[in-house]
Amino acid sequence: MKLDPAIDGAVYRHVLGHYPTGVCVVTATLPGGQRAGMVVGSFTSVSLSPPLVGFFPDVASTSWPQIESAGKFCVNILASDQKDLCRRFSAKGEDKFAGLTHQVSANGSPVLDGVVAWIDCTLDKIHEAGDHYIVLGLVQELDVIRPEQPLLFFRGGYGSFAPLLDTIEVR
Q: How many CA atoms lie less than 13 Å away from 130 in the CB half-sphere?
A: 2
CATH architecture of 22-158: Roll (2.30)
pTM of structure: 0.89
The string of pLDDT tens digits covering residues 146-167 is 999 999 887 777 777 777 766 6
User: Residue ranges of the chain with pLDDT lower than 70?
Assistant: 1-5, 19-20, 165-171
CA distances from 18 to 11, 13, 121, 148, 150 (A): 11, 9, 30, 23, 17
Largest CA distance in the chain: 54
- pLDDT for position 94: 77
φ and ψ at 112, to 5 degrees? -70, 140
